[in-house]
C-alpha cells in the first residue's frame, strides 16, 4: 500500500473495535477514508473519530467496495462470511477472530516474532489469540537465544477476553455484592467477583483441554514455525477487568544464566522488565492496562530443572491492546511499508 488506505472497521462498537479507533488516532495511522461497520442493530448510530462524526453502517457484502484495508473484530462467523468477500474485492483483512488462524494459507502474525509472514498473505492475515500473543512476545527472544524446548503456562485471564459485556457484568457484580443484591450472572452463569474458574471455552472430552488452551498450543507452533515445540497450558478466568497475566516455565536447549535472560528481555521489542524483588514490584493487571508492552517479572532459575536449563517468569499484558487491537494495527502498519 503506497498511498494512505481506505479503511473499514468491522465490529466497531465492540471493545476491540473501539480500541482500534483509539490506536489509529494515537499512532497517527494514515488513511484516505474510514468506514464504521457493525450489525444491523447498531446501524445509524454515530462514532466520533479524530474530530469527525461517522455514521455506523450495517456490515454487508457491499461494505468493502473501494476499501483497501479492513480491521475485523466482529466474531468468527462474521469473519468467515465477510472476510473472503472483502479479500476478493482487493481489500486486505486483518482478522481478530479464530476463523482463519489455523488455515495453512493464512499468515498468523505477531509482529515481534514473525513479521516476514505478512508478505505471504492472500488477502487475509490472522491475529492470534490474546493469550498466545502476550506469551509469545517475551518467549520468542529467549527461544532465539537459547532454544525453547518446552513451555508450561498457566493463564490468569481478565473479563476483557470475553468482551465488553463481560467487563460490564464484573462491574455489576461488584455493585450487587456491595448492595447485598442477587449477583448478576448472565455471561458466565456464575459469580465472577471474589472467584476464579476454568476458562469458559468448551472442554474436549477426550483430551481434557479447553478450546483456549488448544489455541495457545497450536498457534504457538504455527507462529514459531516449530511443530514439535512442547506447550502445556492451563487457562483460568480471574475477576480482573482487563490485562491477562501468565505464569510461564521454560525449558531451554542451551544453558542460560538469569542475568542473560534479563538482558535479552530488557532489549526485546514489546517487552518491559518489571522485576523489583526488594519492593515486591512485579507485573500486575493494573500496571499493564492501557500499555503497549508486555510486562515481565519474577524472573528466576527453575529450581526443579538442571542448572541453567529452566527459567520461571510472570507476565502481564493488556488483552484488548497488545492481545488484540494493537497487534492488528501493528500488522496494518507493516502493510504500509
CATH number reported for the structural domain that contains residue 311 in this entry: 3.30.360.10
What pLDDT score was predicted for residue 220?
98
Q: Does 310 share its domain with 298?
A: yes
Q: Does 328 share its domain with 312?
A: no
Percent of the chain with pLDDT over 70: 100
What pLDDT score was predicted for residue 187?
95
Q: Does 13 share its domain with 53?
A: yes
Tens-place pLDDT, residues 52-73: 999 999 999 999 999 999 999 9
* Cα–Cα distance measured from residue 141 to residue 144, given in angstroms and rounded to the nearest whole number: 5
Q: Does 61 share its domain with 138?
A: no
> Residue 97's domain is classified under what CATH number?
3.40.50.720
Per-residue confidence at 97, pLDDT binned at 50, 70, 90? Answer: very high
What pLDDT score was predicted for residue 242?
94
Q: Does 41 share its domain with 159?
A: no
Determine the average pLDDT of the residues in 98-104: 97
Q: Does 203 share its domain with 330?
A: no
What pLDDT score was predicted for residue 337?
87
State the pTM of this model: 0.96
Residue 265 is assigned to a structural domain of this protein:
yes
Q: Does 89 share its domain with 206?
A: no
Residues with Cβ within 8 Å of 213's Cβ and at least 6 positions away in sequence, in order, are 199, 233, 234, 235
Q: Does 155 share its domain with 91?
A: no
Neighbours of 55 (CB within 10 A): 11
Q: Does 167 share its domain with 297?
A: yes
Residue 71 is assigned to a structural domain of this protein:
yes
- 189: alpha, beta or left? (left if phi > 0; alpha if psi -120 to 50): left
What's the structural domain count of the chain? 2
At 47, phi and psi to the nearest 5? -135, 130
C-alpha cell at 190: 456464575
Contact 160, 166 (CB under 8 A): yes
Pairing between β-strand 310-317 and β-strand 294-301 as defined by DSSP bridges: antiparallel
Tens-place pLDDT, residues 318-337: 999 999 999 999 999 999 98
Q: Does 283 share its domain with 158?
A: yes
Per-residue confidence at 273, pLDDT binned at 50, 70, 90? Answer: very high
Of 315, 325, 217, 211, nearest in space to 273 by CA: 315
What's the chain's average pLDDT?
97
Determine the average pLDDT of the residues in 106-134: 98
Tens-place pLDDT, residues 184-232: 999 999 999 999 999 999 999 999 999 999 999 999 999 999 999 999 9
Q: Does 175 share its domain with 280?
A: yes
Q: Which domain holds residue 193?
A: 132-320
Percent of the chain with pLDDT over 90: 98
Active site residues: 130, 244
Residue 152 has pLDDT above 90, yes or no: yes
Q: Does 146 share its domain with 112?
A: no
What pLDDT score was predicted for residue 17?
96
Determine the average pLDDT of the residues in 81-108: 97
Amino acid at each position: 500500500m503506497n498511498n494512505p488506505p481506505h479503511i473499514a472497521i468491522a465490529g466497531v462498537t465492540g471493545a476491540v473495535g473501539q480500541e482500534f479507533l483509539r490506536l489509529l488516532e494515537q499512532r497517527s495511522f494514515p488513511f484516505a477514508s474510514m468506514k464504521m461497520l457493525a450489525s444491523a442493530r447498531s446501524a445509524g448510530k454515530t462514532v466520533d473519530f479524530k474530530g469527525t462524526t461517522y455514521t455506523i453502517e450495517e456490515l454487508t457484502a457491499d461494505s468493502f467496495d473501494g476499501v483497501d484495508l479492513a480491521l475485523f473484530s466482529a466474531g468468527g462467523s462474521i469473519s468467515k462470511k465477510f472476510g473472503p468477500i472483502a479479500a476478493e474485492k482487493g481489500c486486505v483483512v486483518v482478522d481478530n477472530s479464530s476463523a482463519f488462524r489455523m488455515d495453512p494459507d493464512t499468515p498468523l502474525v505477531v509482529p515481534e516474532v514473525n513479521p516476514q509472514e505478512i508478505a505471504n498473505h492472500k488477502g487475509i492475515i490472522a491475529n492470534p489469540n490474546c493469550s498466545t500473543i502476550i506469551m509469545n512476545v517475551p518467549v520468542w527472544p529467549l527461544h532465539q537465544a537459547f532454544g525453547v524446548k518446552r513451555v508450561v503456562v498457566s493463564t490468569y485471564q481478565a473479563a476483557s477476553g470475553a468482551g465488553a459485556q463481560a467487563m460490564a457484568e464484573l462491574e455489576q457484580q461488584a455493585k450487587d455484592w456491595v448492595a447485598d443484591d442477587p449477583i448478576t450472572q448472565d455471561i458466565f452463569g456464575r459469580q465472577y467477583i471474589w472467584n476464579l474458574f476454568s476458562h469458559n471455552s468448551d472442554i474436549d472430552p477426550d483430551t481434557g483441554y479447553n478450546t483456549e488452551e488448544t489455541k495457545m498450543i497450536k498457534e504457538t507452533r504455527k507462529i514459531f514455525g516449530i511443530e514439535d515445540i512442547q506447550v502445556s497450558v492451563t487457562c483460568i478466568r480471574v475477576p480482573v477487568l482487563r490485562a491477562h497475566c501468565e505464569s510461564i516455565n521454560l525449558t531451554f536447549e542451551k544453558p542460560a544464566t538469569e542475568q542473560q535472560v534479563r538482558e535479552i528481555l530488557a532489549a526485546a521489542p514489546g517487552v518491559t522488565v518489571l522485576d523489583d524483588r526488594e519492593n515486591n514490584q512485579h507485573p500486575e493487571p493494573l500496571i499493564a492496562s492501557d500499555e503497549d508492552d508486555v510486562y515481565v517479572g519474577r524472573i528466576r532459575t527453575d529450581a526443579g530443572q538442571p542448572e541453567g536449563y529452566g527459567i520461571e517468569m510472570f507476565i502481564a499484558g493488556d488483552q484488548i491492546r497488545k492481545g488484540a487491537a494493537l497487534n492488528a494495527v501493528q500488522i496494518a502498519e507493516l502493510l504500509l511499508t
